Amino acid sequence: MRVLLVGTGGVGEAIATIAKDRPWVEQVVLTDYNKARLKEVQEKIGDPKRFPIEWIDASKQDMIEKLAKKYKVDLIMNACDPSFNEPIFDAAYEVGCTYMDMAMTLSSPHPKDPYNKCGVKLGDYQFERAKKWEKKGILALLGLGVEPGMADVFARYAADYLFDEIEEIGVRDGANIEVRGYEFAPNFSIWTTIEECLNPPVIWEKGKDWFTTEPFSEPEVFEFPEGIGKIEVVNVEHEEVLLVPRWIKCKRVTFKYGLGDQFIGVLKTLHMLGLDNKEPIKVKDVMVAPRDVVAACLPDPAHLGDRMFGKTCAGTWVKGKKDGKKREVYLYQVADNEECMKKWGCQSVVAQTAFNAVIGWDLLEHGVWKATGVMGPEAFDPVPFMERMADYGFPYGIKEM
């Protein structure tokens, strides 16, 4: 398989690092706007022939198309902030190759009633073009990171093998990770975190369809496995809620994240001051997006690994009935940061996201997953994916609640 990797930040680096040991990965072209970053990652991997580097502006569709054709790639892997999804997605369509991302095209709140009604939903741009992709005979596989991605695979597995009737599918994410040496240091892209946490969260219910609520709503205490313990989680906008109901029969879908009081307070302050704005404003003689300034002021998550201690847990809680009896299970994956740093030299949050994309490449390359059109992970057989997780160093667990 030949891949054009668009974006070589923390997750992009982890994808390349994990893919390096897979002999069926013929070539991964590392691209980014930051030339120094490209050289850093290429030197770390140590195989410039299989991992060549190219400068790219991911907002330029023609540039993406030219590189895809130059290297004759089979797949374009989008590892950028989702603000770049549209040109990358459209470039893959024009070139006629497979497209994969880990977060769907962005949403826009309802102009009059944002905390009750959906405006433009996550992925609407992509799903509106599904028939074009199907007609052309190519695949766009959306949301194949950890959440969305692995969590969606777990939902499909639960529906196929663990339940006869599902009342609710709820993705629940929590961690006990500490970043030492910083008063505030997010371990994932702050740009993406602001986007998903301050947008109106989406919930899906049978008979009601998709609707929104207030940010950080419906707090609940969820007990995470492997020593992480009880954490308060709240509603956050996330792709699983937009993907799962398209393929899985259930009554309700939610996503809740353990952010913590400090993190929520910081996000609320950024919003109050307008520093979450992603549209450029004029500062003296320079046009700059306030959110980009916030990101520039914070440490790069890709370089925080040696300061991070603890575990992160991603998983899918499912409630329903099996053989006429009530049942609740939590399918999950726990990543220990120190173990991830020792094995891949990448911190746990980005590594836990990245391995899922490489498993996706594996399944596509070997013809295990086949489809055309615009699809989510839950559209495919979950068993081959889950069977490969331990081999990739990220075994899953199942906990009866």
- One DSSP character per residue, 99-121 reads EEESSPPPPB--SS-TTTS-SBP
CA dist 216 and 214 (Å) reads 6
Which pLDDT score is estimated for 91? 98
Which pLDDT score is estimated for 38? 97
CA 91 to chain centroid, in Å, comes to 20
DSSP 158: I
59: its two tokens: 């907002």
225: its two tokens: 């496995």
Alpha helices by DSSP H, 167-281: 190-198, 239-247, 261-273
Cα–Cα nearest to 386, from 77, 157, 180 = 157
CB 103 within 8 A of CB 357: no
Could you read off the pLDDT of 209-258 as tens digits, one per residue? 999 999 999 999 999 999 999 999 999 999 999 999 999 999 999 999 99
Looking at the domain that runs over 150-346+393-400, which CATH code has it been given?
Answer: 3.30.360.10
Could you read off the pLDDT of 314-332 as tens digits, one per residue? 999 999 999 999 999 999 9
Kindly indicate whether the domain formed by 2-101 is annotated with CATH number 3.30.2130.10: no
CA dist 140 and 250 (Å) reads 25
CB 30 within 8 A of CB 8: yes
Span 136-163, average pLDDT: 98
Which pLDDT score is estimated for 192? 81
pLDDT confidence tier of residue 303, bands split at 50, 70 and 90: confident
Could you read off the pLDDT of 182-219 as tens digits, one per residue? 888 787 778 888 888 889 999 999 999 999 999 999 99
* 3-state class (DSSP) for residue 299: coil
Which pLDDT score is estimated for 306? 86
CA dist 378 and 380 (Å) reads 5
Q: Name the phi and psi angles at 205, rounded to 5.
A: -135, 140
- Tell me which of 302 and 30 has the higher pLDDT: 30
CB 271 within 8 A of CB 294: no
Which pLDDT score is estimated for 162? 98
User: Taking the domains of the chain in order of start, what are their residue ranges?
Assistant: 2-101, 150-346+393-400
Distance (Å) of CA 385 to CA 18, 358, 380, 390, 391: 16, 10, 9, 10, 10
Q: What share of the chain is helix, strand, coil (3-state, %, to 5)?
A: 40, 25, 35
* Bridge partner list, 329: 318, 400
pLDDT confidence tier of residue 302, bands split at 50, 70 and 90: confident
> CA angle, 372 as apex, 12 and 3 as ends, to 5°?
25
Which pLDDT score is estimated for 188? 72
CA dist 181 and 185 (Å) reads 9
